[in-house]
């Protein structure tokens, strides 16, 4: 088994608050690196990629289709006279950050200050200024609504929905999560797991829905999810397209990405996964670039 040299990565990140890293390649754990004792922590927007997995299970089970109209599922929450853009909005626009909003919604700094208790109505009554599917605007509204839809269809919380379908097969005990003011799981952030559990999720994605020889999700879902539907924020090094609640990177790679340096990078061409947990409040993307420059070339 190859040995990953960490000197260059450590030099590049010595002033950054990296906590740990786990690497899998060819189905085996290649590296388990810790700067602090491994513990569960908030994965922030990495949560979105778990919500995407929940959507995949829901689609597989026939609860809804990504081609469905948003209004078909949220009729009672929508304004009496919805805009033309809201009428055109489909579930696929929620999962690709292309709902048509001009500003981010339900972001971390906003939620504690909100006086609205019903976030579903708050989102659906916001002004859409772009035709859905045409403009990328990173926000928490899309994954939040998808999580709400699953909870309504399944009759349980998002975490409870994922327990028998994803978490238990992957050996992930019941995680904590963030809830909205009405007690619904917040599908855009707040999932609390550790870096080893995150790496296993990445391995599940790398294996396109297969775990321990059993297919849990269709391979086609993962091919669609990583297609890169819309131009997003980013650059040539880290990538600048967005899929199904994942960031598309160069050379066929993609990642789940959370605030303060939470990453789960799937590298199909190298049959590898890299999971990183951090608590870097100022230079989080420098951690990602250090992984790209100093770790991935060794695989």
Q: Are 143 and 48 in contact (CB under 8 A)?
A: yes
pLDDT value of residue 10:
98
Q: Is the pLDDT of residue 4 over 90?
A: yes
Q: Is the pLDDT of residue 228 over 90?
A: no
Task: Give the pLDDT confidence of 14-64 residue by residue, as tens digits.
Answer: 999 999 999 999 999 999 999 999 999 999 999 999 999 999 999 999 999
pLDDT value of residue 1:
77
Query: Is 42-192 in the same CATH topology as 1-39+194-299?
Result: yes
What single-letter DSSP state applies at residue 174? P
Terminal alpha carbon distance of the chain: 11
**Which uninterrupted H or E stretch holds 235?**
strand 230-235
CA–CA separation, 114 vs 116, rounded Å? 6
CA–CA separation, 117 vs 168, rounded Å? 32
Least confident range from 19-33, 86-100, 169-183, 221-235: namely 221-235
pLDDT value of residue 229:
80
> Mean pLDDT throughout 85-106?
97
Least confident range from 21-35, 88-102, 226-240, 273-287: namely 226-240
CA–CA separation, 265 vs 291, rounded Å? 10
3-state secondary structure of 241: strand
Dump the DSSP string for 163-232. IIIIITTTT-PPPB--B-TTS-B-TTS--EE-HHHHHHHHHHHHTTTEETTEE-S-HHHHHHHTS--EEE
The two structure tokens encoding residue 168: 């238990």
- In sequence order, the 6+-apart residues with CB closer than 8 A to the CB of 278 are 16, 17, 18, 19, 260, 261, 262, 284, 287
**Dihedral, 167, 168, 173, 174 alpha carbons, nearest 10:** 60
Q: Are 265 and 253 in contact (CB under 8 A)?
A: yes
- CATH homologous superfamily of 1-39+194-299 equals DD-peptidase/beta-lactamase superfamily (3.40.710.10)
Domain ranges of the chain: 1-39+194-299, 42-192
Query: For residue 235, how many other CB atoms are within 10 A of its CB?
Result: 9
Closest by CA position to 272, among listed 3, 2, 28, 25: 25
Task: Give the pLDDT confidence of 118-139 residue by residue, as tens digits.
Answer: 999 999 999 999 999 999 999 9
Q: Which CATH number does the domain 42-192 belong to among 3.40.50.150, 3.30.70.1520, 3.10.450.750, 3.40.710.10?
A: 3.40.710.10
Q: Are 19 and 35 in contact (CB under 8 A)?
A: yes
11 burial type by CB count under 10 A (0-12 exposed, 13-18 middle, 19+ buried): exposed
pLDDT value of residue 215:
99
Share of the chain above pLDDT 90, in %: 97
């Amino acid at each position: 088994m190859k040995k990953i040299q960490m000197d260059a990565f450590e030099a590049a990140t010595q002033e950054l608050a990296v906590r740990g890293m786990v690497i899998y390649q060819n189905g085996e754990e290649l590296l388990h690196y810790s700067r602090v004792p491994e513990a569960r922590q908030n994965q922030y927007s990495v949560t979105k990629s778990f919500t995407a997995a929940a959507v995949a299970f829901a689609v597989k089970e026939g609860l809804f289709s990504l081609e469905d109209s948003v209004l078909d599922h949220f009729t009672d929450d929508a304004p009496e006279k919805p805009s033309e853009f809201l009428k055109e909005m489909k579930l696929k626009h929620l999962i690709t950050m292309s709902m048509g909003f001009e500003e981010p919604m339900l972001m971390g700094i906003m939620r504690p200050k909100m006086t609205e208790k019903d976030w579903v109505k708050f989102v659906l009554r916001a002004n859409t200024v772009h035709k859905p599917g045409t403009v990328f605007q990173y926000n928490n509204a899309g994954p939040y609504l998808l999580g709400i839809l699953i909870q309504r269809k399944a009759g349980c919380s998002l975490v409870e929905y994922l327990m028998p379908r994803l978490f238990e097969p992957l050996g992930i005990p019941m995680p904590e999560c963030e809830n909205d003011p009405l007690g619904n799981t917040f599908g855009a952030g707040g999932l609390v797991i550790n870096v080893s559990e995150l790496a296993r999720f990445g391995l599940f994605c790398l294996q396109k829905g297969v775990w321990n020889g059993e297919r849990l999700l269709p391979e086609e879902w993962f091919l669609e999810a990583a297609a890169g539907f819309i131009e997003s924020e980013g650059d040539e090094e880290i990538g600048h397209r967005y899929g199904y609640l994942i960031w598309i990177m160069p050379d066929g790679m993609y990642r789940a990405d959370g605030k303060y340096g939470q990453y789960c990078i799937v590298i199909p061409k190298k049959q590898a996964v890299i999971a990183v947990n951090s608590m870097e409040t100022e230079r989080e993307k420098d951690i990602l670039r250090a992984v790209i420059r100093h770790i991935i070339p060794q695989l």
